């Protein structure tokens, strides 16, 4: 039987944050759970919600955190440890302010580019060697000092339609990583939208 993979959707818990830009990663995990008819449930003694689903022969553990994103790493690392999933079979889905809105990039390891959710994961796993599905949300027009408000904003109606397409592609990219590998997934899904 295939070994399980952990898909960690980064985001903040609760309805106030559910549809914000910063929750792009968690939205991907919810979309995958809906596709497979999985239900995210509390995990005993671990601050995550998780659902077990299967993509062909590959078991996937879909997870979101019940703590704030900046401290979500330990929960994901505990779940991985509990389920015997090494860091090489962890996929983090997250928003990326340094990518133009509508872009999608798949990579493994490397810098966190100051993303505090990724910082927390790197620290908790003691490794940066997990895959990332990076969802471009663009930057606020007014410059860096507006980042926080921008991240916690909801999308405009026009943006929402485009964002939905990217979320579907991000979900497809997650499923491609265990079956097709990193290079093929990058070749198929990496795309840069014009700012």
pLDDT of amino acid 137:
87
Neighbouring C-alpha atoms within 13 Å toward the C-beta of 132? 25
Provide the pLDDT for residue 21.
Answer: 83
Helical segments of the chain, H only? 24-36, 73-82, 116-125, 147-151, 157-180, 182-189
**What average pLDDT does this structure show over 2-31?**
92
pLDDT of res. 144: 52
- Give the model's pLDDT for residue 158: 78
Does 3.30.530.20 match the CATH number of domain 5-189? no
Q: What pLDDT, in 10s, does the model give residues 115-174?
A: 999 999 999 999 999 999 999 988 766 555 455 565 556 677 777 888 899 999 999 999
End-to-end CA distance of the chain: give it in Å, rounded: 44
Q: How far apart are CA 128 and CA 130, in angstroms?
A: 6
CA 38 from centre of chain: 17
* pLDDT average, residue stretch 89-110: 94
For 121, left (φ over 0), alpha (ψ -120 to 50), or beta? alpha
Q: What is residue 116's predicted lDDT score, i.e. its pLDDT?
A: 93
Task: State the burial class of residue 167 (Cβ atoms within 10 Å of its Cβ: 0-12, 13-18, 19+).
Answer: buried
Instruction: Give the burial string for 43-58 (b: 16+ CB within 10 Å, else e).
Output: beebbbbbbebebeeb
- Condensed to tens digits (0 to 9), the pLDDT of residues 36-66 reads 999 999 999 999 999 999 999 999 999 999 9
CA distance to 104, 117, 142, per residue, from 20 (Å): 17, 15, 18
Predicted structure pTM score? 0.93
**Active-site residue flag, 145:** no
Choose the catalytic residue: 22, 30, 55, 94.
22
User: Looking at residue 52, what is its pLDDT?
Assistant: 97
Domain boundaries, the chain: 5-189
């Amino acid at each position: 039987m295939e070994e399980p993979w952990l898909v960690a959707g980064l985001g903040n818990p609760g309805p106030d944050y559910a549809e914000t830009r910063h929750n792009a990663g968690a939205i991907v995990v919810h979309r995958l759970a809906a596709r497979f008819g999985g239900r995210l449930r509390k995990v005993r003694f671990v601050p995550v919600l998780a659902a077990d689903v299967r993509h062909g022969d590959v078991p996937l553990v879909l997870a979101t955190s019940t703590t704030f994103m900046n401290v979500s790493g330990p929960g994901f690392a505990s779940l991985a440890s509990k389920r015997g999933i090494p860091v090489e079979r962890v996929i983090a889905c997250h928003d990326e302010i340094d990518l133009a809105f509508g872009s999608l990039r798949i990579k493994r390891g490397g810098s966190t580019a100051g993303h505090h959710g990724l910082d927390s994961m790197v620290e908790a796993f003691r490794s940066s060697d997990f895959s990332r599905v990076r969802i471009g949300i663009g930057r606020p027009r007014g410059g860096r000092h507006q980042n926080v408000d921008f991240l916690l904003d909801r999308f405009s109606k026009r943006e929402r339609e485009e964002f939905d397409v990217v979320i579907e592609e991000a979900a497809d990219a997650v499923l491609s990583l265990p079956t097709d590998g990193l290079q093929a997934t990058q070749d198929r899904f990496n795309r840069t939208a014009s700012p």
